[in-house]
Amino acid sequence: MSLVIAATIFLASCKPKDSAIQAAIQAKEPAGIVVAVEKGQVTLTGQVLDEAAKASAEKIAKEEKGVKSVLNNLTIITVDKPVVIAADDTLIKNVADAAKDFPTVKADVKDGVVTLTGTIEKSGLITLMQHLSALKPKKIENKLTVK
């Protein structure tokens, strides 16, 4: 009897702790996946590119020693969300606001397409592109000469 108890305690102490399991799985999963472990039950959250990546992440978790179950809450990134494109009158106003601080840039809008001509400093280009991309254009035709 005492042997059984001793063996049980021994086995229990051999089981990897949640924190150790969590660290081991987290190290093996691709970046962007969040691993949580409670009493050997693993929960995966985050976004992945496709079903294969979702299955692969689950497999990694299941193969880890001490894992009892895996709750796969990973979501797959959206590919069917409609693309929203701003109407020209809204876009023209917003593009004018965004381009105001770049006097060497000319920005034209037609049918949702923003066409940029003129010159710009390299450092300003990212800022301008970031601002324009937030305005829901159909396309940004960048014909700027970068200095």
Partner 1 sequence: MALQDKYKGLTDAAVAAGITDLAVREQDGVLYIDGTAADGAAKDQLWDVYNQIDPNFASGDLVLNVNVSVDAAVTHAKVITQSSNLNIRKGPGTDQPIVGKAAHGEVITLVNRSNDLWWLVRTNDGEEGYCYAQYLEAQA
Residues 147, 142: Cα–Cα separation, whole Å: 14
Interaction mask 16-45, partner 1, x per CB under 8 A: --------------xxx-x-----------
CB 88 within 8 A of CB 62: no
The sign of the torsion formed by the CA atoms of 122, 126, 131, 132 equals positive
Residues 129, 121: Cα–Cα separation, whole Å: 12
Site for partner 1 in 65-94 (CB under 8 A): 77-81, 83, 93-94
- Binding of partner 1 by 15 (CB under 8 A): no
- Min separation Cβ 108 and partner 1, Å: 14
Nearer to partner 1, 16 or 124 (CB): 124
Nearer to partner 1, 63 or 97 (CB): 97
Q: Which residue from 37, 48, 70, 107 is in contact with partner 1, where contact means CB under 8 A?
A: 48
| Alpha-carbon distance values, 98 to 69, 84, 130 (Å) | 51, 19, 10
Residues 118, 143: Cα–Cα separation, whole Å: 7
CB 141 within 8 A of CB 116: yes
Nearer to partner 1, 71 or 134 (CB): 134
Q: Which residues contact 46 (CB under 8 A, 6 or more apart)?
A: 32, 33, 34, 74, 75
Site for partner 1 in 92-111 (CB under 8 A): 93-94, 96-98, 100
Nearer to partner 1, 3 or 87 (CB): 87
Residues that bind partner 1 (CB under 8 A): 30-32, 34, 46-49, 77-81, 83, 93-94, 96-98, 100, 122-127, 129-131, 133-142, 144, 146
